[in-house]
Amino acid sequence: MKIAETDFQAWMGGVQARMETALSRLLPAAQVAPTKLHAAMRYASLEGGKRVRPLLAFAAGELSEAPRERLEIAGAAVELIHAYSLVHDDMPCMDDDVLRRGKPTVHVEYDEATALLVGDALQSLAFQILSENKLADQPQRQLEMVRTLAVAAGSRGMAGGQQIDLDSTGSALTPPELEFMHIHKTGALIRAAVLLGFLCGEKISESEKKQLDRYAKAVGLAFQVVDDVLDADASTATLGKTAGKDSKQGKPTYVSVVGLPAARRMADELRQEAREAVRDFGGRAHRLTALADFIVLRKF
């Protein structure tokens, strides 16, 4: 193992541990009424996931010298939106899945009605923590963060991408249509994570924001392409979620639309595009480039 890799692994582990503590603190305690809802919200959000979105927020925050305490909140807000989307996604009326992060999904462990409310309440909590903690010297900047997350989560972002996904099941998409779907479904929230992390700092330049956005678009799409490759390739045990599900459900994936070798090539091109986008930042972007590598080269 190279020294750079060891350093990256240590940094990643550190952020993941910080996020676990932050999420545990920000989520209502399981003893607070209604206890079943709060226990289920914690079940859905804690002890699981790679925390890719918070990692991106922390990496982007290095560019604007953002304080860690703010990055924890911003990262947690994005992660709560992500967690809520997984809970609703897994429900019987959507993907009907029983396994997530190696554990029974929320509607299996609890019940469907509770899963519905868990998702709803996690979304509210994301906006609550984003508005009740100080995340910027100017409150106007903080309102921009609320708006960025709301747009990314909504009908012209993640929820809209889910709808396109639903409507495309069983139909043949062209590569541009597939890209349009994923830019919404996965990409929007990943872009929000990068932007929110950057906005937590005080050294904000509009031109840097644009370069970061280019990075975030490439990484967001790469993330989904790799997900599709892994879904076709890996086993359920490695993924911690049901493997091969998308193709069984007749959902278009990069593998089904362009084939496995082309999907692999595409992921690597997007990794190069992401690295290229932040080249001007030099060494300050080393976490961002390492994350682009991690996202594309991961095996789970």
3-state helix, strand and coil shares in percent for the chain, rounded to the nearest 5: 75, 0, 25
202 binds a second copy (CB under 8 A): no
DSSP 173: P
End-to-end CA separation in angstroms for the chain: 19
34 binds a second copy (CB under 8 A): yes
User: Which residues sit opposite 99 in a β-bridge?
Assistant: 104
User: Which residue, 162 or 289, has its beta carbon nearer to a second copy?
Assistant: 162
CB of 119 to a second copy, least distance (A): 7
Name which of 241, 190, 179 is nearest 212 in CA terms. Answer: 190
Q: Which amino acid is at 250?
A: G
82 binds a second copy (CB under 8 A): no
C-alpha distances in angstroms, 189 versus 21, 31, 97, 153, 194? 22, 31, 22, 7, 9
CB of 73 to a second copy, least distance (A): 13
98 binds a second copy (CB under 8 A): no
Write out the two tokens for 106.
């929320």
29 binds a second copy (CB under 8 A): no
Write out the two tokens for 4.
């750079």
Q: What is the CA radius of gyration of the chain?
A: 18
CB of 300 to a second copy, least distance (A): 27
Q: Which of residues 103-132 bind a second copy (CB under 8 A)?
A: 111-114, 116-117, 119-121, 123-125, 127-128, 130-132
| # residues contacting a second copy (CB under 8 A) | 54
Contact set with a second copy (CB under 8 A)? 28, 32-34, 36-38, 41, 84-85, 88, 91, 93-94, 111-114, 116-117, 119-121, 123-125, 127-128, 130-132, 138-140, 142-144, 146-147, 149-151, 153-157, 159-160, 162-164, 166-167
